[in-house]
Amino acid sequence: MNNGQPTYHPGFDVPVASAQERNRVLRNTYWLLALSMVPTVLGAWIGVSTGLARAMSPGIGLMVFLGGAFGFMYAIEKTKNSAAGVPVLLAFTFFMGVMLSRLVGSVLGLSNGANLVMTAFAGTGAIFLGMATLSSVIKRDLSAMGKWLFIGAILLLVAGIANFFIQSSALMMTLAVAAIGIFSAFILHDLKRVKDGLETNYISATLGVYLSIYNVFQALLALLGMGGSRDE
């Protein structure tokens, strides 16, 4: 019992939020995460309807995606403690939805495309619920996972950019499977940080979990799409 005062994480001079603060951050993170799905779906729908993402060449699309994503993440980091933080995050999720529309549109072009999209959505939801449950029951500190997961994500990014030029289906499938594993673990890691009081900003927490969910969904959809294309 600490009477609402922050404690300190063992081995670090980092203040840990009180139980009340941790619950507030976690609750706000879940609410904002749910809200962020609305502009994502809207952006994907507009992108598919207008063909905006498909209108760009693959090279231009990659540059727009990387530039936009990192630009938005920088802006979110700068505004996370202000009233502009939530609108900037929601604008980012809309942008990510538009960028996702190229893949969604390709899968929807398959005979069973709508079912594949729903399967990827359900699979992503199941992974999220599983990781959220694990974050509640695991007692050990998972902070050390962060640096290894970050390294894995960077390697995935580099390999993904390389495969943009190589165009290897086998490598694409391998990267999709690896992405599902790495970003599922990221969901667990990030939620556990909130539960342990090591992440006290719900906008930062939402951004981290959102990116992991986005990547898991994208990887699942890509795998299902590759399977669907072979059935055609």
* pLDDT, tens digit (0-9, with 9 covering 90-100), for 148-185: 999 999 999 899 889 888 888 889 999 999 999 999 99
Query: What whole-number distance in Å separates Cα of residue 98 and Cα of residue 3?
Result: 46
**The predicted structure's pLDDT at residue 58:** 80
**What percent of the chain has pLDDT above 90?**
64
68 is written with which tokens? 């936009």
| CA separation for the pair 150, 158 (Å, rounded) | 12
For residue 16, report the phi and psi dihedrals to the nearest 5 degrees: -105, 130
Q: Which helix (H) or strand (E) holds 8?
A: strand 7-8
Burial of 141: CB neighbours in 10 Å, binned 0-12, 13-18, 19+: middle
Residue 14 pLDDT > 60, yes or no? no
Give residue 228's pLDDT.
65
In DSSP terms, 70 is beta-bridged to none
Domain ranges of the chain: 13-231
pLDDT at residue 11 in the model: 43
The pLDDT score that the predictor gives to residue 4 is 44
Contact 105, 51 (CB under 8 A): yes
CB 186 within 8 A of CB 149: yes
Residue that is written with structure tokens 């598919």 in the block? 48
What backbone phi and psi angles, to 5 degrees, belong to 7?
Answer: -105, -170
Give residue-wise pLDDT tens across range 74-121.
Answer: 999 999 999 999 999 999 999 999 999 999 999 998 889 899 999 999
The yes-or-no verdict on residue 229 having pLDDT over 80 is no
Per-residue tokens: 184: 């599922």
- Is 60 exceeded by the pLDDT of residue 5? no
DSSP annotation of 57: -
Residues 6+ apart with CB under 8 A from 120: 217, 220, 221, 224
The residue with tokens 């399977």 is 227
The whole-angstrom separation of Cα 96 and Cα 215 is 11
